[in-house]
Each structure stands twice: as C-alpha cells, then as structure tokens.
Amino acid sequence: MWYLKVVWHHDFPDEPVEILSEIGEDRYEARKVEVFRAGRLDWADESRRSPSTMLGEVPVPPLAEINEQEEFTAAVIPAEEFEQAWAAARGALP
C-alpha cells in the first residue's frame, strides 16, 4: 500500500479540495477521504461509504500524470497522515 494526497484547486462549492487515498499494489483505491472547503470529511472503503463519496473505478494514474493537470497538486504522503484523516472522517477523533 501507498498513500496519496491530491489538492484540487477550484472554486466549486460542493466538491472536495483535498482527496487522500490508500492505494493498493494494483493502483486501485482501497480507502479514500475527501476534505471539503467547509471542513466536512467524507469517506469510502471497499465495502462502505458515506453518501457522496465512492472509490475510483479505474487505477490511479502515475503521480506525474496527475501533476500534469494544472488543477491538481499530488504527492505521496506517510501512512500516518492518511490514518489520521481516516480516523477523523470515521469519527474516531474528537
């Protein structure tokens, strides 16, 4: 597994501004957290999800390919950063 954070630079009020993903060796998302401008956190895993978030249906492209798009800034992140966001999205943190 590896972990990805994508910052989405946009002005859409109902779309996430950050997407954190746990990526499997097959490059498919196993878990995802979406962070919205107002602070809302939505989540999805392989068997459950919040109402507005779902895992991607295709493999995650290479980091360089994501970063070629002006509206995205993507980086590999430590597992701990993802786990903290996951816990917050799932309500495990105060």
- State mean pLDDT over 74-93: 92
Q: Does residue 74 fall inside a structural domain?
A: yes
Q: Does residue 11 fall inside a structural domain?
A: yes
Q: Does residue 94 fall inside a structural domain?
A: no
pLDDT at 93 over 60: no
Q: Does residue 62 fall inside a structural domain?
A: yes
pLDDT at 28 over 70: yes
Q: Does residue 18 fall inside a structural domain?
A: yes
How far is residue 11's CA from residue 54's CA, in Å, rounded to a whole number? 21
Q: Does residue 14 fall inside a structural domain?
A: yes
Global pTM value: 0.92
Q: What is the pLDDT of residues 61-81, one digit of tens each?
A: 999 999 999 999 999 999 999
Q: Which domain holds residue 61?
A: 2-89
Tally of domains within the chain = 1
pLDDT at 92 over 70: no
CA distances from 45 to 20, 52, 54, 66 (A): 12, 13, 8, 22
